[in-house]
Amino acid sequence: MTDMTHERCSELLGAYSSGGLDERGRQEVDEHLATCSDCSLELGAIQTLQASEVLPLSGAERDHLSRAVRAAVFPGPRRSLLERLGPRLAPALGAVALVAIAAVAIVSMPDRSGPSIPSADQGGGGDTTGVQTQDAAEEAETMEAEAAQPAKQSDRGSSGDGGGAGTEGATAGSADALSRPTALNARSNFVVHESAFARTGLELGSLVPALSPRRGRYAYAVDPADLASFAPDDRIARLIEGCAERTLSTSPHPLVPTSAAYYPDDVLVIGFVWREGSVFNYELRGWLDGDCERISPIYRRGVLE
């Protein structure tokens, strides 16, 4: 039989490939395949797909899945971030244990003073070490927009002069201080691990432009370990946890969460560090809306050296 149509053959190829056709069916497909390069091509794709195996869920993955879904479906007492992240955090913790890497929690704060934005990327060791930001709402592809940073810096008003990341901006007793928190406040509210934090190129407790699509917000650079005490209520704490969990789950790196931030009602951002040999990379990613559903693009990634 050589009158099998191309369409009919295509329909049978799945069964053919998995051995589900009877002798006659197999022969018919064989005959058609001998004369039809398109169907042969299709068969190759099917075989490739069927040959790719997925390792089954591990016990830890099952546990995680069950806990995460249960927590979302049956709201109950809040559990710790570590508990929630458990299986995913394990490799990351291994990496961090070796180096006691820095942590930067960035807490966005409202700002009513408009465009005066201390530049975060002028402080540390050059372009690759500063945690740079962009406040555009555009997509991630617009990372080139960082080129706009110098322009922004030029109108940052009272926010200091270069050297110390955002610190000067934060401590300057300018009009801005009336409308945004000071670095001193940040320091008093958080414990910051300086040795690690220095890698970010930021000043401890400094105000930096929030990694927000929204203009006019500021962030405090602090340690995420202190977020628990900072988070004013369970709702916000849950958002931060959700953000960390989601971001960890979408990265192929053994990430260490290094920053978390919140501003009630609208924003969250989380940063991560991972290690490749002796090099530490960072990325600040995942700006989420309050419902933790929408993640905006990664804002910055680079190397901590």
Interface residues toward other proteins, by CB under 8 A: 7, 10-11, 13-14, 38, 41-42, 44-46, 48-50, 52, 54-57, 61-62, 64-66, 68-70, 72-74, 88, 91, 128, 139-141, 143, 246, 248-254, 274-277, 279, 281, 283, 285, 294-298, 301-303
By beta-carbon proximity to other proteins, the closer residue of 218 and 299 is 299
**Distance in Å, CB of 264 to other proteins, minimum:** 23
**Distance in Å, CB of 252 to other proteins, minimum:** 5
Cα distances (angstroms) measured from residue 96 to each of 48, 72, 91, 190: 38, 29, 9, 20
Render the burial of 4-16: b for 16+ CB within 10 Å, e for the rest.
beeeebbebbeeb
By beta-carbon proximity to other proteins, the closer residue of 95 and 183 is 95
What's the chain's length in residues? 305
**Distance in Å, CB of 35 to other proteins, minimum:** 16
What are phi and psi for residue 209, nearest 5 degrees? -60, 130
By beta-carbon proximity to other proteins, the closer residue of 61 and 265 is 61
By beta-carbon proximity to other proteins, the closer residue of 87 and 157 is 87
**Distance in Å, CB of 282 to other proteins, minimum:** 10
Q: What one-letter code names the amino acid at 147?
A: A
By beta-carbon proximity to other proteins, the closer residue of 204 and 248 is 248
**Distance in Å, CB of 247 to other proteins, minimum:** 10
Enumerate the β-bridge partners of residue 269.
261
- Rg, Å, the chain Cα set: 26
Task: Give me 191's structure tokens.
Answer: 């414990």
Give the N- to C-terminal CA distance of the chain in Å, as an integer. Answer: 69
3-7: list long-range contacts, CB under 8 Å, 24+ apart.
Answer: 4/28, 4/29, 4/31, 4/32, 6/32, 6/36, 6/38, 6/39
What is the β-pairing status of strands 256-263 and 217-222?
unpaired
By beta-carbon proximity to other proteins, the closer residue of 20 and 114 is 20
By beta-carbon proximity to other proteins, the closer residue of 262 and 282 is 282
**Distance in Å, CB of 129 to other proteins, minimum:** 12
By beta-carbon proximity to other proteins, the closer residue of 147 and 178 is 147
Instruction: With H, G, I as helix, E, B as strand and everything else as coil, classify residue 245.
Output: helix
Render the burial of 252-262: b for 16+ CB within 10 Å, e for the rest.
ebbbbbbbbbb
**Distance in Å, CB of 4 to other proteins, minimum:** 14
**Distance in Å, CB of 209 to other proteins, minimum:** 19
Pure H helices in 52-148: 59-73, 81-99
Residue with tokens 């419902």: 291
